[in-house]
Amino acid sequence: MLPLVVGLLTAGGAFLGVRHSVHGNDRATEQRELAARREEWWRRFTWAAELALDQDPAKRVAGLKLLTKLGQSDLAQADESVLLDVFQGRVLDALLDEFRRPDSEEN
């Protein structure tokens, strides 16, 4: 009887150990996946920012639209949202300045 109890306790302990280990690995995998997704978000932000600063108006519009979509992502945290707002505001201000400049040169 005693060997049976020892065997069951050993098997139960092994099961709990494996289960705990698997759970820890799952969390680590989730964290790596989140980090990879956030890295990709930043690559896309950089690409969209470059488009938003391009001389071609169509590329600028595309960049600003992409930045808006990136801001709606669940990966954009509070700091990124502030960065997006400030960046888009500056790009739009620059566009407005360019738009107004030809009018002021004519007067």
The residue ranges of every structural domain in the chain are 2-106
In this structure, which amino acid lies at residue 98? E
Q: In this structure, what token pair is assigned to residue 33?
A: 């996946």
**Stated pTM of the model:** 0.64
CA distances from 2 to 14, 32, 101 (A): 18, 45, 92
Query: How much is the average pLDDT of 23-37?
Result: 84
User: According to the model, what pLDDT value does residue 6 have?
Assistant: 77
Distance (Å, whole) CA 53 – CA 27: 39
User: According to the model, what pLDDT value does residue 57 have?
Assistant: 85
User: According to the model, what pLDDT value does residue 63 have?
Assistant: 92
Minimum mean pLDDT among 48-62, 72-86, 90-104: which range? 90-104
Compare 68 and 98 and report the one with higher pLDDT: 68
- pLDDT(105) > 70: no
- pLDDT(36) > 90: yes
Query: Residues 42-64: pLDDT tens digits?
Result: 999 999 999 999 989 899 889 99
